A and B are shown apart, each in its own frame.
Chain A
Amino acid sequence: MKTTILISIMLAVGLSVAAQQKDVLLKVSGEVTTPLELTASDIRAMPHITVVANDRSGTPHHYRGVALEDVLSKAGVTLGRQLRGENLTKYVLARCADGYEVVYSLAELDSSFVFHVPIIADSTDGKPLDEAKGPLRIIVPDEKKPARSCFQLTALTIRYARD
């Protein structure tokens, strides 16, 4: 009896610790109305689109993922109709697990500005991303170099550009 109680207490504690330490893959912060901490299942649950982009050697691949603008909109970032005036001075700083950082202006991510929106990919050619590049990576279609299609995305920070 005592053992059963002990085990159930341990289980309950273990589960609540697990619940507190949810496996956050991507944080969104800065000029947002709702900061986000997204897990793999949060991202899986969002609408996915497919884009085609070339790798370093010029070979095209199909990448499937969530439009960056959808993630930013979920955080309340000023996109679409709100992307005008001083909001056009905002940028997104993407940070990756290896320390790599790259910037996009908001307009470059917005479907009212560009024909093919960048995505946060979670699979490629029907398979999960390579472990050294995933679980999440940004894919910017239509760029000649893949330098802004960064690997192992961990955070997006939205800021105003200032002098």
Chain B
Amino acid sequence: MRGAHYISKTLITGLVIGSALSLSFNRDHPHPYKLVYPTYFGDRYSIPKDNPETIEGVALGRMLFYEKALSAGNKISCATCHQQQHAFSDGKRFSRGADGVRQSRNTMALVNVLWTRNFFWDGRTPGLENQADTPLTNIHEMGQSLEISVKKLGARKRYARMFAAAFGEARITPERIEKALAQFERTLISCNSRYDQYLRGTYKPTASEENGIRLFYGSPNPARAVRGASCSHCHGGPKTYEELFMNNGLDSIYRDPGRAAVTGRGYDSGRFRVVTLRNIALTAPYMHDGRFKKLEDVVDHYSDHVVKNRYLSPFLQNNSNSLHGSELDLTAKEKKDLIAFLNMLTDSSFITDKRFSDPFVHS
């Protein structure tokens, strides 16, 4: 008994000295984490002044991203629905939460979220730090209050050290959990697809890919026999992302009101985020409700089946490759070429990057 007491006392003293040492070592020196991306992505993003990217913060965020203790019953982590091999989505139409209940919308991929300002399909939440609140605490997602998460992390000894390294002191708080997660998510940058290699001049696209690129960026002008698909109008330039919300003609009766539920504006009905197309081949199924299983279905939709509705995006109207046509009217070959381009956006190094993988597998 006395022996056991001695051992635990020594252990505790050792731990205290250890954490004091790591504290004094790290307190003033969380090391800046350099975000690396191509210049053609641009730097129109902002990182909160009170949450700079640090090596220690990112390491903690990665651990928390894969930490099941952050969910009710330790059943799931962020990575359960945001799996690296699916570009941080999960291949399901609707993911299930810790309570087994399905989500009402498709899980979004996490790719280049550094450039996203307002989160979710309806853009209701500004900033990654705030975004984390919902999946962590929603009863049909991870389903656990942040107060309980703080307690559970406190009982795991690695975290005092990691929070100290990231934030200068070992105290675990809800705010720090969200800050660390946000720091990790900002590092999820995908910029080594074949399309990037093409932009860097190290990959020569096939004829089909080249035509896909042309169609993606081009607008139709049937009077001049110019073919186009006008994709870049909303999906933007090389990032294939701009923060836009569009009614893309899925329905005329809006079962999910989309952004209108946030703004209260009729014209926002059926309006959802325009997603990045980076790694799009890995993130099926598609749309806010995962209604399309394959990229072929998506391209067919935009080419032939856009539903005319009251608030349909003006960019999907009067946009035909046929004279006086009402649909985009791509040929079967053009659809294949567009998909060839979309496949160029798959970045195999992003989904195998060890910096983003499950740290518990190796620990």
Flag if B263 contacts A97 (CB, 8 Å).
yes
Main SS at interface, chain A: loop
CB distance from B46 to the nearest CB of A (A): 14
* Partner pick for B244 among A56, A99, A130, A131, CB 8 A cutoff: A99
Given contacts A57-B318, A99-B244, A100-B244, 18 further A-B pairs with CB under 8 A are: A56-B318, A97-B245, A97-B265, A97-B268, A98-B244, A98-B245, A98-B246, A98-B271, A99-B123, A99-B242, A99-B243, A99-B245, A131-B267, A132-B311, A132-B313, A132-B314, A134-B267, A151-B314
CA distance A57 to B310 in the complex (A): 21
Flag if A152 contacts B267 (CB, 8 Å).
yes
How many cross-chain pairs have Cβ atoms below 8 Å apart between A and B?
A: 36
Which residue of chain A is the closest to B44 with respect to CB atoms? A101
CB neighbours (8 Å) of B310 from chain A are 131-132
14 intermolecular pairs with C-beta atoms under 8 Å apart: A57-B318, A97-B245, A97-B263, A97-B265, A97-B267, A98-B245, A99-B242, A99-B243, A131-B311, A132-B247, A132-B267, A132-B314, A151-B314, A152-B267
CB neighbours (8 Å) of B118 from chain A are 99
A83-106 contact mask (Cβ, 8 Å, vs B): 1 or 0: 000000000000001111000000
B134-152 contact mask (Cβ, 8 Å, vs A): 1 or 0: 0000000000000000000
CA distance A133 to B247 in the complex (A): 12
CB neighbours (8 Å) of B243 from chain A are 99
CA distance A97 to B243 in the complex (A): 11
Which residue of chain A is the closest to B273 with respect to CB atoms? A99
Which residue of chain B is the closest to A99 with respect to CB atoms? B244
**B339 at interface (Cβ–Cβ under 8 A)?**
no
Q: Which of B295-345 contact A (CB under 8 A)?
A: 310-314, 317-318
CA distance A99 to B271 in the complex (A): 11
CB neighbours (8 Å) of A134 from chain B are 267
Chain B: interface residue total (CB-CB under 8 A): 21
CB neighbours (8 Å) of A131 from chain B are 266-267, 310-311
Query: A97-B268, A98-B245, A99-B245 given as contacts; is B123 within 8 A of A130 (CB)?
Result: no
CA distance A99 to B313 in the complex (A): 12
CA distance A152 to B118 in the complex (A): 19
CA distance A17 to B267 in the complex (A): 23
A120-143 contact mask (Cβ, 8 Å, vs B): 1 or 0: 000000000011111000000000
CB distance from B242 to the nearest CB of A (A): 7
Q: Which of B268-286 contact A (CB under 8 A)?
A: 268, 271
A135-163 contact mask (Cβ, 8 Å, vs B): 1 or 0: 00000000000000001100000000000
CB neighbours (8 Å) of A56 from chain B are 318
CB neighbours (8 Å) of B265 from chain A are 97
CA distance A45 to B274 in the complex (A): 36
CA distance A131 to B267 in the complex (A): 7
CB distance from A48 to the nearest CB of B (A): 22
CA distance A150 to B237 in the complex (A): 19
B199-213 contact mask (Cβ, 8 Å, vs A): 1 or 0: 000000000000000
In this complex, the member of A99, A131, A133, A152 whose beta carbon has the largest number of chain B beta carbons within 10 angstroms is A99
CA distance A151 to B247 in the complex (A): 14
Which residue of chain B is the closest to A147 with respect to CB atoms? B233
CA distance A98 to B266 in the complex (A): 13
CB distance from A16 to the nearest CB of B (A): 18
Flag if A132 contacts B312 (CB, 8 Å).
yes
Flag if B314 contacts A130 (CB, 8 Å).
yes
CB neighbours (8 Å) of B246 from chain A are 98
CA distance A97 to B247 in the complex (A): 11
CB neighbours (8 Å) of A130 from chain B are 314
In this complex, the member of B242, B266, B267 whose beta carbon has the largest number of chain A beta carbons within 10 angstroms is B267
CA distance A133 to B318 in the complex (A): 14
Flag if A133 contacts B311 (CB, 8 Å).
no
CA distance A97 to B264 in the complex (A): 12
CA distance A132 to B246 in the complex (A): 10
Which residue of chain B is the closest to A133 with respect to CB atoms? B314
CA distance A56 to B230 in the complex (A): 13
Which residue of chain A is the closest to B265 with respect to CB atoms? A97
In this complex, the member of A98, A100, A151 whose beta carbon has the largest number of chain B beta carbons within 10 angstroms is A98
CA distance A24 to B239 in the complex (A): 34
